[in-house]
Amino acid sequence: MSNILTHKWLLDRRYFLRGLGATVALPLLDCMTPLRAGATELASKPRRSVFVYIPNGVNVLTWQITTLGRDYQFSEPLRPLENHRQNITPISGLHHPNGIGQAHVCADTWLTAAKISMDGGVYRNSVSCDQLMAEVTSPKTRFSSLELSVAAGAGQPNNASTLAWSRNGVPLPAENSPRNVFNRLFGEEPGGVAARRRRLNRQHSVLDAVLEDAKSLRHDLGKDDRGKLDEYLNSVREVEVRTERLDAWLTIPKPQVDAATSTHLRRNVLPHQSSATDYYRTMYDLIVLALRTDMTRVVSFMSGSESVGLAIPEIAISQSRHELSHHNGDPEIMARLSRSDAFLTRQFAYFLDQLQSIQDGEESLLDRTMVLFGSGMSYGHSHGNANLPIILAGGKSLGIKHGQHIDYNLPKIKTYNLADAGSHYSLCHTPCDGNARLTNLLLTMMHKMEVNTERFVDSLSPISELVA
Amino acid sequence: MLDGDMRTYIPFSVFTALFALGPVSSSAVEAANVAAEFDQAVLPFLNAHCSRCHGEKKQEGELRLDTLSRDFASGGAAEHWSEVIRRISSAEMPPEDEPQPKAEEAAEIVEWLAARLKEGESARLAQRERVTFQKLTREEYANTIYDLLGVHCDATDTAGLPEDPNWHGFERIGSVLSLSPAHVEKYLALAETALDEALPTKAPEKVVIHWRAADMTEYVTGAGDQKPRLQELGLLDKARLVVWPGSCFLGQPGTTQKLDLPVTGDYRVRIRLSGLKPPGGRAPHVVIYAADLDRMLFEQDVVAPEGQPVTLEFHAHLPAGHHALRMSNEAPGPSNSPRAGRNGSRPFYSIKDGREPWQTKLTDDAGQPILPFLIVDWMQWEGPITDSWPTPAQQQYSIPENDVLPKAGEVLTRFIERAFRRPATIMDVERFERLVDSEIRSGEKPMAALKTAMLAILCSKDFFYIVEGSTEKNAGSINDWELASRLSYFLWSTMPDAPLLDAARSNTLHQPETLRAHAARMLRDPKIHRFTNAFPRQWLQLRRVGMFPPDKKLYPDYDDYLQTSMVTETTEYFRYVLEANLSLREFLDSDWTMLNARLAVHYQIPGVTDDRFLRVALRPEDHRGGLLTQASVLSLTSDGRRHRPVHRGKWVLESIIDRPPPPPPGNVKPIEPTPVNQPKATVRMKLAAHQSDPNCAACHRKIDPIGLAFDNYDAIGRWRTVEIANDGSGENPRVDASGELVDGRKFSDAAELKKLLVADLDKFNAAFVEKLATYALRRTMTIDDRTNLARLAEQSKAADYQLTAIIEALVLSDLFQRR
Question: Residue A199: inside a domain, yes or no?
Answer: yes
**Are B710 and B635 within 8 A, CB to CB?**
no
Boundary of a domain, candidates A214, A238, A253: A253
Range with the poorest average pLDDT among A438-442, B172-176, B533-537: B172-176
The residue range of the domain holding A247 is 188-253
Do A23 and A120 have their domain in common? yes
Give the nearest partner residue to A429 out of B442, B471, B667, using CB atoms: B667
pLDDT digits (tens, 9 = 90+) for B651-675: 999 999 988 888 777 666 666 666 7
Question: Residue A2: inside a domain, yes or no?
Answer: no
Do A212 and A265 have their domain in common? no
Report which secondary-structure segment, H or E, holds B241.
strand B241-243
Do A368 and A319 have their domain in common? yes
Work out the minimum CA distance from B796 to partner chain A, whole angstroms: 32
B435-474 residues touching A, CB cutoff 8 A: 435, 438-439, 442, 444, 452-453, 455-456, 459-462, 465, 471
Do A155 and A269 have their domain in common? yes
Q: Which backbone phi and psi does B42 adopt, to 5 degrees?
A: -95, -40
Which pLDDT does position B9 carry in this prediction? 38
Boundary of a domain, candidates A220, A253, A286: A253
Residue B332 CA to residue B371 CA, distance in Å, equals: 9
pLDDT digits (tens, 9 = 90+) for B774-790: 999 999 888 778 889 99
Q: Which residues of B touch A220 (CB under 8 A)?
A: 471
Work out the minimum CA distance from A88 to partner chain B, whole angstroms: 32
Do A128 and A225 have their domain in common? no
Q: List per-residue pLDDT tens for chain A, 468 residues long.
A: 333 333 333 332 232 233 333 333 333 333 333 333 333 344 478 999 999 999 999 999 999 999 999 999 999 999 999 999 999 999 999 999 988 877 778 899 999 999 886 544 457 789 999 999 999 999 889 899 999 999 888 887 778 889 999 988 888 989 988 988 998 888 877 777 888 888 899 999 999 999 998 888 888 876 656 778 888 998 999 899 888 888 888 888 888 888 898 889 888 787 877 788 999 999 999 999 999 999 999 999 999 888 788 888 788 887 788 888 888 778 888 999 999 999 999 999 999 999 999 987 789 999 999 999 999 999 988 888 899 999 999 999 999 999 999 999 999 999 999 988 888 988 898 899 999 999 999 999 999 999 999 999 999 999 999 996
- Using the Cβ of B85 and the Cβ atoms of chain A, whether some distance falls under 8 Å is answered with yes
By DSSP bridging, strand B295-301 and strand B255-261 are unpaired
Which pLDDT does position B433 carry in this prediction? 94
- Does residue B650 or residue B214 have the better pLDDT? B650
Do A132 and A275 have their domain in common? yes
Decide: helix, strand or coil at residue A49.
Answer: strand
Which pLDDT does position B668 carry in this prediction? 66
Name the CA dihedral angle for B748, B749, B752, B756, rounded to a multiple of 10 degrees.
90
Q: Cβ A121–B668 below 8 Å, yes or no? A: no
Residue B338 above 60 pLDDT? Answer: no
Closest alpha carbon to B474 in A211, A218, A224: A224
What's the ipTM?
A: 0.79
Angle, nearest 10°, between helix axes B803-812 and B512-524?
A: 140
Residue B344 CA to residue B334 CA, distance in Å, equals: 19
Which pLDDT does position B672 carry in this prediction? 65
Which pLDDT band, with edges at 50, 70 and 90, does B22 fall under? very low
Work out the minimum CA distance from B69 to partner chain A, whole angstroms: 13
CA distances from A97 to A110, A195, B456 (A): 11, 52, 45
Which pLDDT does position B343 carry in this prediction? 58
Do A110 and A59 have their domain in common? yes
Q: Cβ A318–B183 below 8 Å, yes or no? A: no
Decide: helix, strand or coil at residue A148.
Answer: strand
B717-746 residues touching A, CB cutoff 8 A: 727
Residue A354 CA to residue A176 CA, distance in Å, equals: 20
Q: Is A158 left (phi over 0), alpha (psi -120 to 50) or beta?
A: left
Do A192 and A273 have their domain in common? no
Residue B350 above 70 pLDDT? Answer: yes
Question: Residue A173: inside a domain, yes or no?
Answer: yes
**Are B27 and B34 within 8 A, CB to CB?**
no
- Does residue B82 or residue B505 have the better pLDDT? B505
Which pLDDT does position A451 carry in this prediction? 95
**Which segments of A64-192 does DSSP mark as H helices, in order?**
106-109, 129-137, 178-186
Which pLDDT does position B337 carry in this prediction? 57
Which pLDDT does position B252 carry in this prediction? 42
pLDDT digits (tens, 9 = 90+) for A274-305: 788 999 999 999 999 999 999 999 999 999 88
Q: Cβ A198–B79 below 8 Å, yes or no? A: no
pLDDT digits (tens, 9 = 90+) for B402-420: 777 788 999 999 999 999 9
A279-308 residues touching B, CB cutoff 8 A: 307
Residue A403 CA to residue A342 CA, distance in Å, equals: 20
B120-159 residues touching A, CB cutoff 8 A: 120-121, 124-125, 129-133, 158-159
Which pLDDT does position B806 carry in this prediction? 97
Which of A119, A161, A327, A426 to probe by mutation at the B interface, max B CB count within 10 Å?
A119
Q: Which fold has domain B207-383?
A: Jelly Rolls (2.60.120)
Give the nearest partner residue to A329 out of B294, B663, B670, using CB atoms: B670
Which pLDDT does position B20 carry in this prediction? 40
B619-648 residues touching A, CB cutoff 8 A: 639-641
- Does residue B227 or residue B276 have the better pLDDT? B276
pLDDT digits (tens, 9 = 90+) for B33-43: 777 888 888 88
Do A115 and A192 have their domain in common? no
Give the nearest partner residue to A323 out of B125, B129, B639, using CB atoms: B639
Q: Which backbone phi and psi does A432 adopt, to 5 degrees?
A: -90, -15
Which pLDDT does position A298 carry in this prediction? 97
Which pLDDT does position A37 carry in this prediction? 33
Question: Residue A295: inside a domain, yes or no?
Answer: yes
- Using the Cβ of A157 and the Cβ atoms of chain B, whether some distance falls under 8 Å is answered with yes
B182-201 residues touching A, CB cutoff 8 A: 182-185, 188
DSSP string, B139-200: HHHHHHHHHHHS----TTSTTSSPPPP-BTTBS--TTT----HHHHHHHHHHHHHHHHHHS-
Which pLDDT does position A29 carry in this prediction? 35
Question: Residue A349: inside a domain, yes or no?
Answer: yes
Which pLDDT does position A223 carry in this prediction? 66
Q: Is B384 left (phi over 0), alpha (psi -120 to 50) or beta?
A: beta
Closest alpha carbon to A167 in A210, A218, A133, A200: A133
Residue B7 above 50 pLDDT? Answer: no
Question: Residue A63: inside a domain, yes or no?
Answer: yes
- Using the Cβ of A250 and the Cβ atoms of chain B, whether some distance falls under 8 Å is answered with no
Domain total of chain A: 2
- Using the Cβ of B681 and the Cβ atoms of chain A, whether some distance falls under 8 Å is answered with no
Which pLDDT band, with edges at 50, 70 and 90, does B221 fall under? low
Which pLDDT does position A74 carry in this prediction? 95
- Using the Cβ of A319 and the Cβ atoms of chain B, whether some distance falls under 8 Å is answered with yes
Which pLDDT does position B250 carry in this prediction? 28
pLDDT digits (tens, 9 = 90+) for B186-213: 999 999 999 999 999 888 889 999 988 8
Angle, nearest 10°, between helix axes B181-198 and A227-248?
A: 70
Q: Which residues of A touch B321 (CB under 8 A)?
A: none
- Using the Cβ of B676 and the Cβ atoms of chain A, whether some distance falls under 8 Å is answered with no
- Does residue A185 or residue B585 have the better pLDDT? B585
Question: Residue A3: inside a domain, yes or no?
Answer: no
Q: Cβ A209–B551 below 8 Å, yes or no? A: no
Helix, strand, coil in percent for chain A, rounding step 5: 45, 15, 40
Which pLDDT does position B339 carry in this prediction? 56
Closest alpha carbon to B363 in B303, B307, B302, B306: B306
Q: Cβ A156–B163 below 8 Å, yes or no? A: yes
Residue B336 above 80 pLDDT? Answer: no
**Are B544 and B636 within 8 A, CB to CB?**
yes
Which of A213, A223, A245, A277 to probe by mutation at the B interface, max B CB count within 10 Å?
A213
Determine the residue type at B532.
T
Residue B397 CA to residue B199 CA, distance in Å, equals: 9
Q: Which residues of A touch B125 (CB under 8 A)?
A: 122
Q: Cβ A224–B125 below 8 Å, yes or no? A: no
Which pLDDT does position A289 carry in this prediction? 94
pLDDT digits (tens, 9 = 90+) for B83-142: 788 778 877 778 777 888 888 888 888 888 888 888 887 776 666 677 889 999 999 999
Closest alpha carbon to A198 in B402, B448, B183, B456: B448
Which of B82, B136, B667 to probe by mutation at the A interface, max A CB count within 10 Å?
B667
DSSP string, B489-544: HHHTSS---HHHHHHHHTT-TTSHHHHHHHHHHHHHSGGGHHHHHHHHHHHTTGGG
Name the CA dihedral angle for B498, B503, B506, B509, rounded to a multiple of 10 degrees.
-160
pTM: 0.83
A158-217 residues touching B, CB cutoff 8 A: 166, 168, 170-173, 176-177, 180, 198, 201-203, 205-207, 209-210, 212-214, 216-217
Closest alpha carbon to A272 in B249, B754, B306: B249
Question: Residue A398: inside a domain, yes or no?
Answer: yes
Do A291 and A383 have their domain in common? yes
Do A383 and A419 have their domain in common? yes
Residue B326 above 80 pLDDT? Answer: yes
Residue B291 above 90 pLDDT? Answer: no
CA distances from A315 to A157, A340, A343, B572, B756 (A): 32, 8, 8, 41, 49
Closest alpha carbon to B199 in B391, B413, B399, B460: B391
Which pLDDT does position B24 carry in this prediction? 40
Do A286 and A426 have their domain in common? yes
Q: Which residues of B touch A134 (CB under 8 A)?
A: none
Which pLDDT does position A3 carry in this prediction? 30
Q: In percent, how much of chain B has pLDDT > 90?
A: 50
Assign residue A95 the CATH number of its domain. Answer: 3.40.720
